[in-house]
A and B are shown apart, each in its own frame.
Chain A
Amino acid sequence: MTITPIAKDSAKENLKETRAGFGQGIYEFAKKNPKAVLLTADLAGSMRIKKYLAEFSERFFNCGVAEANMIGVAAGMTIGGRIPFTTTFANFSTGRVYDQIRQSVAYSDKNVKICASHAGLSLGEDGATHQILEDMGMMRMLPHMTVVVPCDYTQTRLATLAVGDMKGPVYLRFGRPKMPDFTLEDQNFEIGKAQLLREGSDVSIIACGHMVWMAIEAADELAGRGISAEVINMHTIKPLDEEAIVKSLQKTGCVVTAEEHQRNGGLGDAVAQVCARHLPSPQEFVAVDDSFGESGPPADLLAKYGLDRAHIVAASESVIKRKGV
């Protein structure tokens, strides 16, 4: 696996919302593909889709606060060749409409792109009612469903274009806050292909979404302590790049997974399955430990619930000690 270069040094000054990457991506996709249509459920303002609305209003449908109907309408719109993107908060994109997605989209194998913003704790002050931490698990359990969790603005933009180009149902998950934008325009983003961001030999850190940046920072800190950490951006949760996981573990012998999600059902579970089947290895999970979130500023919440650089560092040191025990 070749290393995917990133713009690490400038990233801290270059903060952008991943949701804005979706807004730009859907605009570009609609421009090149006249079959694209966009639906939302009374959250057009939060989805950063102003450019799309200005140019493609005839291909935009506000469904009001009625997400179940939105998913069904989107499924129906595929019949006749349209490519519907639905967009609202991740909570209302998944848990609220699980049965609609299951029957009308996944089981019916419809070409619907469920684009979900404000995922995880980093939604912040609105609190636990809105901070979904179970969505990746729900979506990756569904047959036919592809699950993509890009890590920054640029990757979310590219992921939006990529999911539009592929056929089949997709769950695309991104977030609310401004985060370092560190991936490059020409990163060769490919659904189902993990990105190796940093080579290492002592521990593999496999992360998705906002946690990828924290994994990079954690690897820097670990290097200062004499630990060589490999960092993998697992932007596609399903289909999972098993080969990349096995290759990395053959080198490092242990793994830390990091995600803004419940420990149950998310990226860590998916990686653990690969370990169990192919290469049993010690694993630590940086994830929410079977609890709901709460209100607060995003950074404070992530720290309180153990989803930050410090916790990835601690998990890495801990998992290395378990090797060969």
Chain B
Amino acid sequence: MRTTAELKEVATQIRRDVIRMVHGAKCGHPGGAMGCADYLSALFFRVMDHNPDFEMDGIEEDIFFLSNGHICAGLYSALARSGYFPVEELGTFRQLNTRLQGHPATEEGLPGIRIATGSLGQGLSVAVGAALTKKLNGDDHIVYSLHGDGELQEGQNWEAFMFAAHHKVDNIIAAIDWNECQIDGTTQDVMDLGDLEAKVASFGWEVITLDGNVMEEVLDTLTAAKALVGKGKPIALLMRTKMAAGVDFMSGKYQWHGKAPNDEQAEQALAQLEPTLGDY
């Protein structure tokens, strides 16, 4: 098992991969991917019981869904670094004939991707459906999902929140990347989410709020969340993060939602991120 210090190193490498991938493609979405690097590191390198010899059905293993598909650079890095496909393939991100599409897809057969996402607001329904199948199948593994906070402006999420509570889908841990940034500005300015904790709780979910950029807190929260599995309610993690966390001049700025750093900015950013696992 990776130590907490090692998980932090993995998160740093994921951030570094994200910068290099987005800079290489000259487009993409670095902000959310970097903000969620700690969570992805914790899930893929310690918490999830998962099989990098990928099988679509994910029987008897924990499975993960990325609903905010635009932050896929972070997921691709986590998948490659945990053995789903060669890390060299990260260099093909967004290029013609790549398996690493601009938003995640199953069409090209990239191991680790079970559903296409990108058009927002659909991943929670899918994750809830997969969790329901696990229950019907008597498979006591967990479904993890990750969502943007801006994405919650899509109404389908709230349909899924209702459904999961009503049908007691209590084997899902859905994390919201609560960075309060979206492409057009802050969530407060674009479409205020209001009292998110109260809203999600009122839909019948267990809600835990955490700082998603502090590894120890991420790990403790996931332990607490796993203890709630099977208790009759779905579980939501409201994860306070900084968009583009890990690079000082980018951190907390909504402008990094969907913009590639230029050569100079990439160099500056990479100077702040050690190649802890080695670059691809």
Contacts and interface: CB of A to CB of B under 8 A. Distances in A.
A107 B115 CA distance: 9
Interface in B175-204: none
B101 to A, nearest CB: 10
B130 A76 contact: yes
Interface stretch (B4-12, B23-31, B121-129): B121-129
Interface stretch (A78-86, A168-176, A213-221, A242-250): A78-86
Interface stretch (A64-72, A203-211, A286-294): A64-72
B152 to A, nearest CB: 14
A320 B137 CA distance: 58
B50 interface: no
A73 B119 contact: no
A108 interface: yes
A104 B136 CA distance: 21
Interface stretch (B51-59, B87-95, B212-220, B260-268): B51-59
Interface residues of A, number: 32
Contact of B156 (A72, A80, A82, A108): A72
A109 to B, nearest CB: 6
A79 B143 CA distance: 11
B139 interface: yes
Given A68-B155, A72-B156, A80-B139, A103 B116 contact: yes
The A interface is mostly helix, strand or loop, or mixed, namely helix
A37 B133 CA distance: 10
A73 B116 contact: no
Given A100-B156, A108-B116, A109-B107, A76 B162 contact: no
B63 interface: yes
Given A66-B162, A81-B137, A76 B119 contact: no
A72 B124 contact: yes
Given A71-B125, A81-B57, A100-B122, A107 B133 contact: no
Contacts of A305: none
Contacts of B118: 103
Given A100-B122, A104-B122, A63 B163 contact: yes
Contacts of B139: 80
Contacts of A61: 132, 167
A108 B106 contact: yes
Contact of B132 (A66, A73, A81, A99): A73
Nearest to B154: A68
9 contacts: A37-B136, A61-B132, A68-B159, A72-B160, A75-B129, A76-B65, A76-B128, A82-B133, A100-B156
Closest 9 CB pairs of A and B: A76-B129, A72-B125, A69-B159, A80-B133, A73-B129, A66-B159, A76-B126, A76-B130, A77-B129
